[in-house]
């Protein structure tokens, strides 16, 4: 059945949530684009009318200025912190990972250690607000090198050799 | 390995006469004035959303700050086939979800909601009183359902925008909204019941 506007009985059922999913989607997509039916849907639902009247939450100007001010201050602070810290943090964490793994020389513990470090690294990234995707390739390579190096070193230790050479 | 900055020609709907469009492009180029304009313009949008989700002014303020910083630092990722406000709200939503998770982690027995908009003067108009009751009722709706209500009824997003934002099929959005409305109605009627005789239905 085609319609130009949603028939009243269907709209009432829609408002009550009393329609099939197929009809719900059809009406929703229409209501999205049709201001008239949208207004009718609001009028048909007392709750929506109240929601509409309650939707205006006016904020004092001082609050808005305060919010925007702290956003800009935070932005500035992070911009000055993030750039020199990023490579240092990255290299530092990978070095720490390798060191811990080598010291332990225990391949079963190694994975758990690596997982802990991974979480620590994520926490640091979150703190300095660097998107993971930006550094993901670097981390992947670093992780492979760290795991590979650690396995090799622990194998050498088991063989009674020096882990280094 | 920073992602390449978004350029004006990448903005499909770039419009030099539109403040929002121009500010987004200028802020992408690192113009602090444009960034400040976006912060002023969209912080209230995010704050209102966060306040309705978090139900606490301080949490809402923190979520707003975090969201807006994320927005301004990731402008190069903005795909302008989305409405800018919808994109921002999707980031605000993720920020709120992170905070909910953190809270659940901290204490599973924490009461869900603390503060509500204050009733204001004693002589509330009945409309105002209904609105206040509604805010309290909204706080009783679980966050999964509350968010669709807030996005649709308060932020006035379209159903299809909500589907895009939540990354779920529109049928699922509709089911969730229907269930959410039912929950809100129950909570609202539960709260309004003592006054039902005097107030009557809205």
Asked if pLDDT for residue B15 goes beyond 70, the answer is no
- Residue B136, C-beta contacts closer than 8 angstroms, at least 6 positions apart: B116, B191
What digits encode the pLDDT tens for the residues B82-129?
A: 889 999 999 999 999 888 888 777 654 444 443 444 444 444 567 677
**Percentage of chain B lying above the pLDDT 90 cut:** 46
Q: Provide the CA A11 distance to its chain's centre, in angstroms.
A: 37
Radius of gyration of chain A (CA): 29
Residue B131's Cβ-side half-sphere holds a number of Cα atoms within 13 Å equal to 20
Neighbours of A59 (CB within 10 A): 13
Residue B7 confidence (pLDDT): 43
What was the pLDDT predicted at A133? 61
Report the predicted TM-score, pTM, of the whole model to 2 decimal places. 0.65
Determine, for residues B65 and A31 on separate chains, whether the beta-carbon distance falls below 8 Å.
Answer: no
pLDDT at residue number A101:
63
Beta carbons within 8 Å of A47's beta carbon, 6+ residues apart:
B181, B184, B185, B188, B202
The DSSP line for A73-116 is HHHHHHHHHHHHHHHHHHHHHHHHHHHHHHHH--HHHHHHHHHH
Q: Above 80 in pLDDT, residue B140?
A: yes
Q: Is the pLDDT of residue B69 over 50?
A: yes
Cross-chain residue pair B202–A74, CB shorter than 8 Å:
no
> Which residue has tokens 């060191």?
A99
pLDDT at B67 over 90: yes
Would you call A71 and B65 a contact, using CB atoms and an 8 Å cutoff?
A: yes
Q: Tell whether the torsion through CA atoms of A71, A74, A80 and A84 is positive or negative.
A: negative
- In 10 A of CB A111, how many CB atoms? 13
Which residue shows structure tokens 């201050």? A73
In this structure, are residues A14 and A41 in contact, taking their beta carbons and an 8 Å threshold? yes
User: Quick one: pLDDT at residue A89?
Assistant: 66
Q: Is A47 on the interface with B (CB under 8 A)?
A: yes
Listed by number, the residues of chain B in 25-54 with a beta carbon closer than 8 Å to a beta carbon of chain A are 32, 35-36, 39-40, 43-44, 47-48, 51
The CA–CA distances, whole Å, from B198 to B40, B128, B194 equal 43, 15, 9
pLDDT above 90: residue B37: yes
Burial string for B103-118 (b: 16+ CB within 10 Å, else e) reads eeeeeeeeeeeeeeee
- Name chain A contacts of B36, Cβ cutoff 8 Å: 68, 72
Per mean pLDDT, which of B8-22, B107-121, B129-143 is the most reliable?
B129-143
Query: Given A52, A71, A138, which is nearest B68 (Cβ)?
Result: A71
pLDDT score of B196: 52
Contact map slice: B 112-151 vs A, CB within 8 A:
117, 127, 130-131, 134-135, 149
pLDDT truncated to tens, each residue of chain A (165 aa)?
678 999 999 999 999 999 999 999 999 999 999 999 999 998 998 888 888 777 677 788 999 999 999 999 998 888 776 555 556 666 676 667 666 666 665 555 666 666 777 777 777 767 666 666 666 677 677 777 877 877 787 788 777 777 666
Inter-chain residue contact B36 with A68, CB threshold 8 Å = yes
ipTM of the predicted structure? 0.71
In Å, how far from its chain's centre is CA B120?
Answer: 23
pLDDT, averaged across chain B: 80
- Tell me how far apart the alpha carbons of residues B47 and A58 are, in angstroms, rounded to a whole number: 11
Q: Does B103 touch chain A (CB under 8 A)?
A: no
Cα–Cα nearest to A139, from A105, A84, A91, A88: A91
Measured distance CA(B121)–CA(B123) in Å, rounded: 5
Nearest CA in chain A to B188: A47
Looking at the partner chain, which of A29, A31, A129 has a beta carbon nearest the beta carbon of B69?
A: A129
For B152-178, write each residue's pLDDT tens digit.
Answer: 988 888 999 999 999 999 999 999 999
């Amino acid at each position: 059945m085609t319609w130009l506007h949603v028939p009243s009985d269907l709209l009432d059922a829609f408002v009550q949530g009393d329609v099939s999913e197929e009809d719900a989607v059809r009406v929703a997509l229409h209501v999205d684009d049709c201001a008239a039916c949208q207004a009718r849907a609001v009028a048909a639902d007392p709750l929506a009318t109240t929601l509409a009247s309650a939707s205006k939450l006016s904020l004092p100007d001082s609050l808005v200025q305060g919010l925007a001010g702290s956003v800009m201050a935070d932005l500035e602070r992070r911009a000055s912190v993030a750039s020199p810290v990023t490579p240092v943090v990255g290299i530092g964490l990978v070095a720490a990972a390798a060191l811990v793994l080598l010291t332990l020389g225990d391949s079963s513990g190694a994975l758990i250690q690596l997982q802990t470090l991974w979480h620590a690294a994520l926490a640091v990234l979150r703190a300095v607000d660097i998107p993971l995707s930006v550094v993901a390739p670097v981390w992947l390579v670093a992780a492979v090198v760290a795991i590979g190096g650690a396995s090799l070193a622990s194998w050498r230790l088991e063989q009674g050799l020096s882990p280094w050479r | 390995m920073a992602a390449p900055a978004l350029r004006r020609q990448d903005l499909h709907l770039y419009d030099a006469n539109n403040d929002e469009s121009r500010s987004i492009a200028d802020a992408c180029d690192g113009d602090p004035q444009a960034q400040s304009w976006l912060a002023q313009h969209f912080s209230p949008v995010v704050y209102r959303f966060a306040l309705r989700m978090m139900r606490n002014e301080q949490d809402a303020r923190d979520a707003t700050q975090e969201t807006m910083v994320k927005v301004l630092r990731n402008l190069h990722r903005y795909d302008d086939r989305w409405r800018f406000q919808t994109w921002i709200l999707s980031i605000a939503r993720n920020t709120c979800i992170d905070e909910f998770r953190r809270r659940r982690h901290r204490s599973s027995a924490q009461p869900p909601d603390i503060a509500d908009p204050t009733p204001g003067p004693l002589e509330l108009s009945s409309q105002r009183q209904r609105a206040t009751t509604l805010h309290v009722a909204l706080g009783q709706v679980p966050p999964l359902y509350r968010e669709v209500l807030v996005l649709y009824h308060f932020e006035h997003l379209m159903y299809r925008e909500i589907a895009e934002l939540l990354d779920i099929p529109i049928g699922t959005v509709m089911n969730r909204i229907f269930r959410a409305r039912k929950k809100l109605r129950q909570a609202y009627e539960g709260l309004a019941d003592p006054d039902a005789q005097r107030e009557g239905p809205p």
